[in-house]
Copies of this chain bind each other. A is one copy, B any other.
Amino acid sequence: MTGTTDAPRSPGRPRSTRAAEAIIEATLDLLAEGSTIEAISMEAIAARAGVGKATIYRRWPGKDALLRDALRTLKGAPPQPTGHSVREDLILLVGAIGHTIDPRAAKIMPCLLPEAQRSPEHYALCQSIIEPRRAVMREVLRRGVRSGELRADLDIEVTMAMLTGPMLIQRVLNWNPDLDETTMPEKVVDGVLTGIRAH
């Protein structure tokens, strides 16, 4: 995908790294502005990137492949909990929901949903982004159960939904415009924690 394979010395003009980056950037920008994944146009991407359409088709075989690559760049590493206390770790993780490395991710995600609902491929892509983060939280909860900080009979998957859901609908779906997002992670964690804490 990226132009320079190591082995063959390129005989002619090498492909511009800037162009490839500009194309990816333009794609993410357009998605973040609310264009549906299927409503986005190659011509709009090319125009936004200041690039000819041929330059895009020289690198990707079609729109689907380009979108796949663009979305893949959003998969940042999930935040790493400090391991000090379960409460602190959960606040960190809950606060990070919708705060991926790229701030556009939160705006792109809802645009991806309609496709993910029908296309198993896009659904798998979404899950592949979500699952690593879920794994981190799952481990924090298991740790809490082992250490006795959390109830032994805890339903971990439901608990994760209880921690994740409120932030997700607020940050991604903009469910209630009046809520304060900055203090919300702490409130949610404390609310749930008091319920699930062993005594």
**A residues bordering B, Cβ < 8 Å?**
33-36, 38-39, 107, 110-111, 113-115, 117-118, 123, 130, 134, 155, 157-162, 164-170, 173-176, 178-179, 184, 187-188, 191-196
Contact = CB atoms under 8 A, between A and B. Distances in A.
A179 B158 contact: yes
A192 B162 contact: yes
A175 B184 contact: no
A115 B34 contact: yes
A44 to B, nearest CB: 14
Contacts of A165: 161-162, 164-170, 175
Contact of A157 (B114, B157, B174, B176): B176
A115 to B, nearest CB: 7
Nearest to A127: B177
B187 A155 contact: yes
Given A34-B115, A38-B36, A39-B38, A161 B179 contact: yes
Contacts of A160: 176
Contacts of A134: 176
A130 B175 CA distance: 9
A102 B194 CA distance: 37
Going nearest first, the 5 A-B pairs with the smallest beta carbon separation are A195-B195, A165-B165, A34-B118, A165-B166, A161-B166
A47 to B, nearest CB: 19
A159 B194 CA distance: 13
Contact of A36 (B36, B107, B157, B169): B36
A114 B34 contact: yes
B169 A175 contact: no
Contacts of A111: 113-114, 117
